[in-house]
């Protein structure tokens, strides 16, 4: 890494957004820390896709995927795959009720798709492996953004066997769905897309030769890299005024890395997850963010003017001992939250209640599905696109029992339909939420409930460690 490393003395900071004041937390203060960038790189949200439609409630945008040479690390050029020449790709920023048309052009030398991760949409716009876009071909994705789905989503390729490679090369972007009636007051809104990558000396993105030791390790763990990015920047800075409250939408676009996020000196106030806001804000000391998952936080500039805090990734052991990285529990810095020298402002009031989430009724469930994750397999099988693993009908409500029988975490993702978590290891879920990602930790289980309210088709469910998915840890749900 080209960064200057130095010791930073963490200031004694404290801050809490809610009325409840949290005790000061202790942090792993290893002596080596990444310094704030000498000339701070702004972690400003990626550019937004330009809507060319003149029609009301219509968003019409163009995305081209192509090989692009970019500087991903300071001073080093890398050959990437990029959406509209940018990594991350430009953000799709829409409102509930909008009709979205995406004119997509594949200028890559290989087939690809765009999967609109978490969005409830027709099967033929899901961008799953059933609908590859050939090199040089174009495709229009079309969908309507449903009421009640305001939240943070993302888009990325989902071609057969190549998803990890394509995302690792740089193909990922954010989606913001804004509510018709947002319960949160107006405030600065930041999209923060987390990713990690690995590079060779010459700047090339490092994908090891098949069957090499490194490839075997990637296949086991999911490919990780030592360089951590926020919006494609290494250790960028967000400025905040003391007292100001910001809304941070955080996306995990990493292939295998599961983050345990904390903000030094702050209690985190989580207001939402994959499918939008919770019913009420929840205070958290740190938050686990599995692959593909999203969170929304409210961050208050509680530091003294001129002081700073650091968003960190604390260690988390998702691995089998045989392939666990030696530095798995090393705390890594992600970004600096720099409090400006301006005089403090009075924070906006955060509503105690955000929205009502009606629980799906377990009494209406017509089937219980058992999904067993073992290493690389779902119910003992690898994916076969000509096979249907779960067959159901539009309108059905079902419970899925997902069990992980091996010593490594596997994050579960279902296409097309948001679900609610009923319990984890038999412990009822404490708060209601709409989810499309759920980490299933090693040797644990969870139960979810889902209603297929429309959209017949063949929907993927899979482990979202991309190397596992690409090696067949995926199944097909057919809704007729
Ligand atoms: Cu997995």
Note the pLDDT tens digit of each residue in 73-93.
888 999 999 999 999 999 999
219, pLDDT greater than 50? yes
Determine what percent of the chain falls in helix, strand and coil, rounding each to the nearest 5: 5, 45, 50
Q: Report in angstroms the alpha-carbon separations of 194 from 179, 197, 233, 250.
A: 24, 10, 10, 7
Alpha carbon distance 169, 163 (integer Å):
10
Q: How far is the CA of 197 from the centre of ligand 1 (A)?
A: 19
Q: How far is the CA of 262 from the centre of ligand 1 (A)?
A: 25
Q: How far is the CA of 107 from the centre of ligand 1 (A)?
A: 30
pLDDT in tens, 129-182: 999 999 999 999 999 999 999 999 999 999 999 999 999 999 999 999 999 899
Q: How far is the CA of 372 from the centre of ligand 1 (A)?
A: 11
Q: How far is the CA of 378 from the centre of ligand 1 (A)?
A: 9
Element (H, E) at 164: helix 163-168
HSE-CB for 459 with a 13 A CA cutoff: 30
Q: Are 110 and 162 in contact (CB under 8 A)?
A: yes
Q: How far is the CA of 235 from the centre of ligand 1 (A)?
A: 28
pLDDT value of residue 43: 75
Q: How far is the CA of 194 from the centre of ligand 1 (A)?
A: 19
pLDDT value of residue 275: 98
DSSP, collapsed to helix, strand or coil, labels residue 466 as helix
Burial class (CB in 10 A: 0-12, 13-18, 19+), 55: exposed
Alpha carbon distance 203, 216 (integer Å):
22
Tokens (6 digits) for 404 = 């992980």
Q: How far is the CA of 221 from the centre of ligand 1 (A)?
A: 8
pLDDT in tens, 273-283: 999 999 999 99
Q: How far is the CA of 464 from the centre of ligand 1 (A)?
A: 6
Span 286-314, average pLDDT: 96
Which 3-state string (H, E, C) describes 200-261? CCCCCECCCCCCCHHHHHHHHHCCCCCEEEECCECCCEEEECCCCEEEEEEEECCCCCCEEE
Bridge partners of residue 102, in order along the sequence: 61, 141
DSSP letter, residue 435:
B
Categorize the per-residue pLDDT at 318 as very low, low, confident or very high, splitting at 50, 70 and 90.
Answer: very high
pLDDT in tens, 28-55: 333 333 343 445 567 778 999 999 999 9
pTM of the model: 0.91
pLDDT in tens, 364-420: 999 999 999 999 999 999 999 999 999 999 999 999 999 999 999 999 999 999 999
Q: How far is the CA of 402 from the centre of ligand 1 (A)?
A: 13
pLDDT value of residue 1: 35
Q: Please, what is the average pLDDT of the chain?
A: 91
Element (H, E) at 476: strand 474-479
Q: How far is the CA of 192 from the centre of ligand 1 (A)?
A: 24
Read off φ and ψ for residue 66, nearest 5 degrees: -155, 160
Q: How far is the CA of 375 from the centre of ligand 1 (A)?
A: 7
Q: How far is the CA of 47 from the centre of ligand 1 (A)?
A: 32
Q: Report in angstroms the alpha-carbon separations of 368 from 382, 392, 453.
A: 21, 11, 17
Residue pointed to by tokens 């959209």: 455
pLDDT value of residue 40: 55
Q: How far is the CA of 42 from the centre of ligand 1 (A)?
A: 34
Q: How far is the CA of 317 from the centre of ligand 1 (A)?
A: 14
Q: How far is the CA of 467 from the centre of ligand 1 (A)?
A: 8
pLDDT in tens, 243-278: 999 999 999 999 999 999 999 999 999 999 999 999
Lowest mean pLDDT among 33-47, 291-305, 314-328: 33-47
pLDDT value of residue 8: 27
Tokens (6 digits) for 187 = 């405030």
Q: How far is the CA of 406 from the centre of ligand 1 (A)?
A: 10
First-to-last CA distance in the chain? 51
Q: How far is the CA of 161 from the centre of ligand 1 (A)?
A: 14
Element (H, E) at 326: none
Q: How far is the CA of 80 from the centre of ligand 1 (A)?
A: 25
Q: How far is the CA of 110 from the centre of ligand 1 (A)?
A: 25
Q: How far is the CA of 31 from the centre of ligand 1 (A)?
A: 34
Span 83-112, average pLDDT: 98
Read off φ and ψ for residue 215, nearest 5 degrees: -65, -40
Q: How far is the CA of 443 from the centre of ligand 1 (A)?
A: 13
Q: How far is the CA of 480 from the centre of ligand 1 (A)?
A: 28
286, pLDDT greater than 80? yes
Span 3-15, average pLDDT: 29
Q: Report in angstroms the alpha-carbon separations of 392 from 324, 395, 397, 454.
A: 39, 9, 9, 12
Q: How far is the CA of 360 from the centre of ligand 1 (A)?
A: 27
Largest CA distance in the chain: 63
Q: How far is the CA of 217 from the centre of ligand 1 (A)?
A: 13
Where are any strands of DSSP class E within 96-182?
99-106, 115-117, 138-144, 151-156, 173-178
Q: How far is the CA of 479 from the centre of ligand 1 (A)?
A: 24
Burial 70-89 (b: 16+ CB within 10 A, else e): bebbeeeebebbbbbebbbb
Q: How far is the CA of 90 from the centre of ligand 1 (A)?
A: 28
């Amino acid at each position: 890494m080209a960064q200057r490393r130095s010791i930073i003395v963490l200031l004694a900071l404290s801050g809490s957004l809610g009325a409840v004041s949290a005790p000061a937390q202790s942090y792993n203060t290893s002596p080596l820390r990444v310094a704030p960038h000498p000339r701070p790189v702004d972690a400003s949200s990626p550019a937004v896709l330009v809507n060319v439609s003149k029609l009301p409630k219509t968003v019409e945008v163009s995305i081209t995927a192509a090989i692009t040479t970019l500087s991903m690390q300071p001073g080093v050029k890398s050959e990437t795959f990029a959406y509209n020449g940018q990594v991350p790709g430009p953000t799709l920023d829409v409102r509930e009720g909008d009709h979205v048309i995406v004119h997509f052009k594949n200028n890559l030398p290989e087939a690809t798709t765009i999967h609109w991760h978490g969005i409830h949409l027709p099967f033929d716009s899901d961008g799953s492996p059933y609908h590859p876009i050939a090199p040089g071909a174009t495709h229009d994705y079309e969908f309507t953004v449903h009421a009640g789905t305001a939240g943070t989503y993302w888009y990325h390729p989902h071609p057969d066997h190549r998803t990890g490679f394509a995302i690792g090369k740089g193909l990922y972007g954010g989606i913001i769905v804004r509510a018709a009636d947002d319960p949160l007051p107006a405030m600065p809104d930041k999209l923060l897309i987390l990713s990690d990558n690995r590079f060779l000396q010459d700047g090339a993105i490092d994908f090891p030769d098949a069957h090499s030791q490194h490839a075997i390790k990637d296949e086991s763990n999911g490919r990780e890299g030592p360089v951590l990015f926020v919006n494609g920047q290494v250790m960028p800075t967000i400025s905040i005024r003391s007292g100001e409250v910001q809304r941070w939408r955080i996306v995990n676009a990493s292939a295998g890395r599961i983050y345990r996020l904390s903000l030094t000196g702050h209690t985190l106030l989580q207001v939402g997850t994959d499918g939008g806001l919770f019913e009420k804000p929840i205070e958290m000391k740190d938050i686990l963010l599995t692959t593909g998952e999203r969170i929304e936080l409210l961050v208050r500039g509680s530091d003294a003017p001129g002081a700073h805090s650091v968003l960190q990734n604390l260690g988390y052991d998702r691995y089998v001992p045989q392939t666990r990285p030696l530095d798995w529990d090393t705390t890594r810095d992600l970004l600096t939250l720099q409090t400006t020298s301006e005089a403090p402002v009075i924070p906006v009031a955060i509503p105690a209640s955000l929205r009502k989430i009606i629980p799906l009724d377990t009494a209406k469930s017509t089937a219980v599905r058992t999904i067993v994750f073992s290493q690389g397999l779902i119910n003992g099988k690898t994916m076969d696109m000509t096979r249907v693993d779960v067959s159901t009908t539009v309108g059905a409500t079902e419970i899925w029992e997902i069990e992980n029988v091996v010593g490594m975490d596997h994050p579960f993702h279902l296409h097309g339909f948001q679900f609610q978590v009923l319990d984890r290891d038999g412990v009822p879920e404490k708060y209601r939420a709409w989810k499309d990602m759920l980490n299933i930790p090693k040797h644990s289980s969870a139960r979810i409930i889902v209603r297929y309210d429309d959209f017949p088709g063949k929907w993927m469910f899979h482990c979202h460690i991309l190397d596992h998915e690409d090696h067949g840890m995926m199944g097909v749900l057919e809704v007729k």
